[in-house]
Amino acid sequence: MSIKTYHAVTPEEAVKVIKSGDHVHLSSVASVPQCLVHAMCARGDAGELHDVHIHHLHTEGPAPYTDTKYEGVFQHDAFFVGSNVRPAVQSGFADYIPIFLSETQRLYRDGYIKCNVAMIQVCPPDEHGFVSLGTSVDATLAAVETADYVIAVVNKNVPRAFGQAMISMSLIDIFVEDDTPLVKSHFSIPNEIETAIGMHCAELIEDGACLQMGIGSIPNAVLAQLGNHKNLGIHTEMFADGVLPLVEQGVINGANKGVDKGKMVSTFLMGSQEVYDFIHNNPQVLMMDVGYTNDPFIISQNPKTTAINSALQVDLTGQVCADSLGTKFFSGVGGQIDFVYGASRSKGGKAIIAMPSVTNKGVSKIAPTLAAGAGVVTTRNHIHWFVTEYGAVNLYGKTLQERAKLVISVAHPDHRESLEKAAFERFGSHFRFVTKY
């Protein structure tokens, strides 16, 4: 059977379907269709558009639509804020919609946001007329299903990933061709502090556990400690290079998973070319809709689900800021609470919040109370395990005063006295009689 064909147009021709007032969705992370973005912005430069709303999750690469010159032309209303758009959000020229990652797809499917145009990237079609969304399924599948127009960039560099990433060409209205490589990300080698955090987290991970963790030095530090584990699984919103050696060693095989046994499940990816090559034509990997990967009920069906997430600041009662700290670091709620909630309900599961005890400037990230304007992502009601380079403590089922003692016990030694003084002032003289750390 011959490969199904399509008629491709130029990016400039494709974006003519965008109208003033439209809502446009971009595929995320490594798979932003930059040729369409630049063509859309060119229409803005020509004065052809106004009040166009741009939606996406985390994106890598340029985001020219957030430039101040496009005020009144493009309104950035993202579901997650990456470093490329954070300055625009902080300055007020762009904005974001606070929402659990698991529910981003509902914004389209349940009609809270109308998707007029979905701009995506796909792999070349196979002989059956199917293409793959590759590294970006997340809320993009919901956008494709509900959009008035779907513009797809056919790119040979998009991996042919399985699961819900596979869609029929019939869902696509306009095709464009562009072979720009996907954005790649390379993460630094964990430093001494991150390695210590990784070791403490790894000690909590049991054989047969199903892992969720993000990207960066701490997840890599955790993964580097798991070489002697057995029968680990992956059900996560994303993974990066750190899992590949464990797959090659047979440590990650999904044998103990309760759902999608033997499969690695993710909703988007960001990493090196090795990661993109790994998922290409690999039936071991399922790229799924974010409503599936981040559904707390589905997460909980895998035994020993262990979710490891980061934070910007934690207070003495266990409130976790992972969204914004004052006017800085706007990012979004993301999937942290989806997995905290799911892991805590998994049989033998563990929900872990991990972070260095201090900032790069030596300021304690453990605070008496969260900074003014800080966004609470994981509440004191949800937190279980808390890990720094000084150890791991379980706050679940503990009183406020017991929590304060435990949190202070893993603070940087230089800050413990001041934190204990703050706790004494907050809880009163009885605090001194709570079991010492």
Residues annotated as part of the active site: 237
Q: Which residues are within 8 A (CB) of 26 and not within 5 positions of it... i.e. 6 or more apart?
A: 32, 33, 37, 54, 55, 56, 59, 119, 120
Distance CA 44, CA 25 (A): 16
Helix, strand or coil for residue 203? helix
Distance CA 93, CA 108 (A): 24
CA distance to 23, 165, 265, per residue, from 121 (Å): 18, 11, 20
Question: Sign of torsion, CA 263 268 271 276?
Answer: positive
Helix, strand or coil for residue 413? helix
Helix, strand or coil for residue 112? coil
Extract the tokens encoding 419. Answer: 């934190």
CA distance to 24, 25, 146, 249, 275, per residue, from 116 (Å): 6, 8, 8, 46, 32
DSSP secondary structure of 350-403:
EEEEE--SB-TTS-BSEESSPPTTPPEEE-TTT--EEEETTEEEE-TT--HHHH
Extract the tokens encoding 58. Answer: 């985390």
CB neighbours of residue 99 within 10 Å: 17
- Greatest Cα-to-Cα distance within the chain, rounded to the nearest angstrom: 80
Distance CA 288, CA 237 (A): 9
The closest alpha carbon to 236, from 163, 339, 323, belongs to 339
Contact indicator for 383, 407 with CB cutoff of 8 Å: no
